Structure 1
Amino acid sequence: MTSVVPKPPVYERLHYREILAVSIETFKSNKVRFALTALGMVIGTASLILVVTIGLTGKQYILRELNSIGTNMITADYEGGTIYGGSTSNDFMTLDDLKAIRAQVPGIVAASPMIQLHDQIPVPGGKERDVLILGVSFEYQFVRNLVIPSGRFFDDYDTNARNKVAAITKPLAIRLYGSEDAAVGQPIKLNGLPFTIIGTFKERVETFGQSEISDDTILIPYTVGRYFTDTDAVKELFFSMSDSDRVPLATQEIQQVLQSRHRPESVYKAENLTQLLDVAAKVANALTAILLLISAVTLVVSGVGIMNIMLATVSSRIREIGVRKAVGATNQEIRLQFLTEAVLISLVGGVIGIVSGLALPVSLRFLTDYRVPISGLSVIIALVVSSMVGVLFGTVPATRAAQLDPVESLRYE
C-alpha cells in the first residue's frame, strides 16, 4: 500500500506571500529610504555591466586591429650565424625556398618574397630623402592586407613582364606631390632606373614603424628589384593561410622546410601574430578583471548601506517586532522577514542597475553600425551578486531583530 504525502496546510503555503506582502508595504511607507538604499545597488550593478561591456569592447577592438594586420600571416627570415654561436658563411633564403614551402605546406593562399634596397630621392626644397625600396610580389598586397587609396597595386602581369612600376606610401606621396591622386602617373627614378608610380598604399592598421613598412617606403615588383642585387637571396618571406586555425602548425612546418633545405647549423625563424593576439587578449581580460574589482567595491559599499538602513529599520520597528512575537511569530519568521526586505532592496536595485547598464550598449547597437558586445554572463553575475549582497549584509540586522526580547520590545516607546 503506497503512502500519500499530505499537502502542506494553506497557511504554510501563504506564509512566504505574507512576508513578501509585509515587505512591500514597509517599502511603500518608507519610499525615500528604500529608494536611497537601492540607489547604491543601482550604481554598483550598472557599473559592473558597463565595465564588462567596456572590457569586451576594448578586447574586440584590439583583436580586430591585430586581425587587420593579418592574423593569418606568417613571416620567415634568416637570423644569421649558427645555433652554436660560431661563424660561417651566410645561408640566405631564396625564391626556391618559397616555392618549396608552397608545395609542401598545405593551406597557403598567398606568398611573397621580399628584398630590401635603399636609395635617395629629391624632395621639394632641393634636398634629398632616404627611402626604403622593397621588392615584393603582387600577392604581398593580400598577405599584408594593404589598402590602396589611389591608383592600383602592381599585378602578376607587371611582375612577369618586369614592368618598372612602383607604389608609394600615402605620406611620401603627399610630401613629394602634394596629394595621393597627384602622385599617380608621376615618374620617379630609383637607383638610376626610371619608374612610374601607379598607386599609393597604406597599412590597414597603423603599426607606428613597428613593421617592415615605414612612411618613406616604395614597393616595386620583386622581379625588377632583382636588377639591383647580385645574388638570389631574399631578406624575408611572407605567407598567408586560408584558415587561422592552421597558422600555429603551418609556422612550425615552414620552419622545418627551411631547416631541411639549408645547412643544419643555419638559424631560421618563422613567426606569426597568434602569440601577440593571445597576449592582447590576456591584457584585455586583466584590465576587465581590475575594473570588476573596482565595481565590486561599489557593491560592497552598497551592501554596507543596506545593512545600516536595515539596522535603523530594526530600531524603529522594535515595538512591531514585540507585537508579532506576542501573537506567535517565531525568531525564524522575524529573521526571514528582515532578510527578505534586505534581499528585495538589493534585488530591485540590481535589476534597475542591470537595465541601466544595458541601456547604453543596446542604444549604441540601434543608433550606430558598431556592434557593441553584450555579455549575458555579466547580467547573471550581477543578479547573483546583488542577491548575495542582500543576504550577506541583511543577515546581521535580521539576526538582531530575531534576538529581541518580546517583553522588552512591547515596553519600547
Structure 2
Amino acid sequence: MWIERYFHDIIIGIEAIFDNRLKSMLTALGIIFGVAAVISMMAIGKGAEQEILEQIKMVGVNNIVVTPTSVSVEGSGSKSGDDSGARRSKFSKGLSLLDAQAISEVIPSVDKVSPVISFNYSAILNGKSNPVVLEGVDESYFELFSIGLQAGEIFSQTQSEMGQPVCLIGDNIKSVFFKQENPVGKSIKCGKIWLKVIGVVEKRDFTTSASDEMGISSSDNKIFVPVQTVLLRFKNRSLIRADEVEKANSKQDGGGMVIVGMGSGSDGGSSNDNDGNLNQLSKIILQVKETEQLSETANIVKRMLYRRHSDMYDFEVTIPELLLKQQQRTKNIFNVVLGAIAGISLIVGGIGIMNIMLASVMERIREIGTRQAIGASQKDIIVQFLSESTLISVFGGIIGIILGVILSQMITAIFDIKTIVSLFSIVIAFGVSAAVGIIFGYLPAKQAAEKDPVESLRY
C-alpha cells in the first residue's frame, strides 16, 4: 500500500515538472553542462593516458636511446709554424658501431643492443618511385620495440653478419609497390641496390607527438636492412674520402679546429643525407633487464661514452619511458584540475536546483496546504518535492551524458586530441547528478513538509 501511495506522490511531482517545462529545463541546465563537462574532461584524460601507454609501447619498455649531438670544439695555439704553436684539439669519431659493441660487452645490466643507421632514399619498382627511410638495424631491434610481422621473417644473424641484401618493408611500402600481392620473396630497388624482401612489418598506430618528443617515427614507410648491409652496400659515414680531405684542407684556418666530413663508402645510390653528420650511427637503442636499473645504467653509458669520445659530450642519453611517465604524471595533474572545475559546475547546478525548489515551495504554499488538508502526511510532501528535484537532476544527467559524448567527439575531430568515453565516467557522472538532486532537493522538500496546513490555506 505504501508503495502505491509514494508512487502517487512521484506522479504528482512529474506532473509538476511538465506543468513548468521551461522552469524545469532552465533548472536542469546547470546539471546538463556539469555532467557534459565531467564526461568530456574524463574522456580527454582517458585518451591522454591511452596515448601515453601506446607511446611507451612504441618507444619500448626499459629502453635507453643514445643519439649523437653537434658539439663545438675549438683548438688553441699560434698561427706560426713552430711546434710550440701547433693546434691542440680533441677529436671524437662520433657514435659508432664500436660504441654499441662496447655497451653490449661491458655493461652487465644491458640485455639487448641495436645500432641504428638511417638514410633517406627512393625505392623503385616497375617504374614507380617513392621516398622511403632506409634503416639499418640488427635482429634485436624488433624485440626492443615489440614490432611484429604481417608476413615473412626477421633477418637471421648470418644475413646480418654477412651484410646480405635482404630487407623488411613497412605496411605503406607494401601498399604502394605490391598492392594485393605477397611481397615476401620479391625484390625492390633502393637507390641502386636490389633488396630481397623477406618480411613485412605490422602496421602500428602512430602519433606525431611521439615523433617530436621521443625521436621515434612510424615504421610504415621504412625499409629495414641489416646494419652491415648499410655499411657495406650503401654508405659508411666513418670512411673519409680523399676529395673531402682536400676540400677540408682548402678551408682550414690556422687558428681553429677543422672537422672533416665523413663520406660514403660503397654508396650504392644517392641519398639525401647531406647534413654533415659525422656519426657512423644515427642512434643506439639498448634495453635494460630491470626497470630499477634504468637511471643507473643510463649514467654508466654516459660516462663510458664520454671516455670513449675523448672527454666530449657529442651524444645524448635519454630514457623515453621515464620521460613519458613524467609526462603522464603532469597530464594526470592537469586532468584532476579540469575534473575539479567540472565537478564545481555540478555543485553550482545543485545549488541552482535548491534555489529554484525553494522558490517553488513559496509559490505552491496553497497546493501544499490543500494536500495536507485532504490527508497528505509530511512524508508525502517530502517525496513529492524530492522526486521533482531528483527527476530534474536525472533527466539533466541523461542529456548531459549525450552532450558530453558529442562534445568529446567534437574535441577529437576539431582539435585532434584523442578522447575515450568510458562506462566508468558515464556511471560516475550519472550517479553524481542523481545524488545532487537528492542532496540539494532535500532542504526545500523538508521546508515544504513543515508548513502549517491552516496557514498555508490562508496564504
Q: TM-score band, normalised by the shorter chain?
A: 0.5 to 0.7
CA offset at residue 217 of structure 1?
2.9
The code of the aligned residue for 2:54 comes to E
CA offset at residue 139 of structure 1?
0.8
Native 8 Å contact 2:393 2:437 kept in 1: no
Q: For residues 129 and 372 of structure 1, what CA distance do their matches in structure 2 show?
A: 39
The code of the aligned residue for 1:79 comes to T
Give the structure with the larger strand fraction: 1
**% identical equivalent positions:** 16
2:145 counterpart residue number: 144
Q: Calculate the aligned-residue CA RMSD, in Å.
A: 5.0
Map residues 246-285 of structure 1 onto 2, 5 A cutoff: 246-271=293-318, 272-279=320-327, 282-283=330-331
The code of the aligned residue for 1:223 comes to Q
Q: For residues 445 and 343 of structure 2, what CA distance do their matches in structure 1 show?
A: 24
1:198 counterpart residue number: 198
Matched, 1:30 2:13: yes
Change (3 A) 1:260 1:349: farther
CA displacement 1:31-63 (0-9 Å, x = unmatched): 323687699388578647744653454234313
The code of the aligned residue for 1:311 comes to A
Change (3 A) 1:25 1:100: same
State which of 57, 75, 78 in structure 1 corresponds to 2:68: 78
The code of the aligned residue for 1:137 comes to D
CA offset at residue 85 of structure 1?
12
CA displacement 1:132-166 (0-9 Å, x = unmatched): 32221011112233232232221223213433211
Native 8 Å contact 1:51 1:291 kept in 2: no
Matched, 1:178 2:185: no
The code of the aligned residue for 1:218 comes to I
1:65 counterpart residue number: 54
The code of the aligned residue for 2:357 comes to I
Q: For residues 263 and 339 of structure 1, what CA distance do their matches in structure 2 show?
A: 84
Matched, 1:220 2:241: no
The code of the aligned residue for 1:217 comes to K
Native 8 Å contact 2:119 2:134 kept in 1: yes
State the TM-score, normalizing by the size of structure 2.
0.61
Native 8 Å contact 1:150 1:200 kept in 2: yes
2:345 counterpart residue number: 297
Native 8 Å contact 2:67 2:283 kept in 1: yes
1:17 counterpart residue number: none
Change (3 A) 1:283 1:109: same
Q: What is the DSSP-based 3-state SS (H/G/I as helix, E as strand, rest coil) of the residue aligned with 2:286?
A: strand
Map residues 47-126 of structure 1 onto 2, 5 A cutoff: 47=36, 50-51=39-40, 54-55=43-44, 57-72=46-61, 73-82=63-72, 89-103=91-105, 105=107, 107-125=109-127
Q: For residues 423 and 298 of structure 2, what CA distance do their matches in structure 1 show?
A: 34
Change (3 A) 1:309 1:120: closer
Count of residues paired in the alignment = 373
Native 8 Å contact 1:185 1:196 kept in 2: yes
Q: For residues 223 and 107 of structure 1, what CA distance do their matches in structure 2 show?
A: 26
Native 8 Å contact 1:303 1:393 kept in 2: no
CA displacement 1:211-260 (0-9 Å, x = unmatched): 35576532211122221426383221012344555545543443333224
Q: For residues 225 and 292 of structure 2, what CA distance do their matches in structure 1 show?
A: 32
Native 8 Å contact 2:368 2:453 kept in 1: no
CA offset at residue 317 of structure 1?
2.5
State which of 231, 236, 241 in structure 2 corresponds to 1:229: 236
Change (3 A) 1:119 1:317: closer
Q: What is the DSSP-based 3-state SS (H/G/I as helix, E as strand, rest coil) of the residue aligned with 1:146?
A: coil
The code of the aligned residue for 2:66 comes to A
Map residues 329-348 of structure 1 onto 2, 5 A cutoff: none
CA offset at residue 112 of structure 1?
0.4
Once structures 1 and 2 are overlaid, which stretch shifts more, 262-271 or 339-348?
339-348
Matched, 1:155 2:160: no
Q: For residues 319 and 165 of structure 1, what CA distance do their matches in structure 2 show?
A: 88
Q: For residues 300 and 241 of structure 1, what CA distance do their matches in structure 2 show?
A: 51
CA displacement 1:292-331 (0-9 Å, x = unmatched): 645653663454244223322233236967999xxxxxxx
Q: For residues 50 and 235 of structure 1, what CA distance do their matches in structure 2 show?
A: 44
In structure 1, list runs of 5 or more residues that go unmatched.
1-20, 325-333, 362-370
CA displacement 1:4-42 (0-9 Å, x = unmatched): xxxxxxxxxxxxxxxxx9998754543323687699388
Map residues 392-403 of structure 1 onto 2, 5 A cutoff: none
Change (3 A) 1:253 1:393: farther
Matched, 1:310 2:358: yes
Q: What is the DSSP-based 3-state SS (H/G/I as helix, E as strand, rest coil) of the residue aligned with 1:30?
A: helix
Change (3 A) 1:207 1:248: farther
Q: What is the DSSP-based 3-state SS (H/G/I as helix, E as strand, rest coil) of the residue aligned with 2:69?
A: strand
Matched, 1:238 2:228: no
Q: For residues 72 and 206 of structure 2, what CA distance do their matches in structure 1 show?
A: 34
State the TM-score, normalizing by the size of structure 1.
0.67
CA offset at residue 286 of structure 1?
3.5
CA offset at residue 394 of structure 1?
6.1
Native 8 Å contact 1:118 1:133 kept in 2: yes
Q: What is the DSSP-based 3-state SS (H/G/I as helix, E as strand, rest coil) of the residue aligned with 2:70?
A: strand
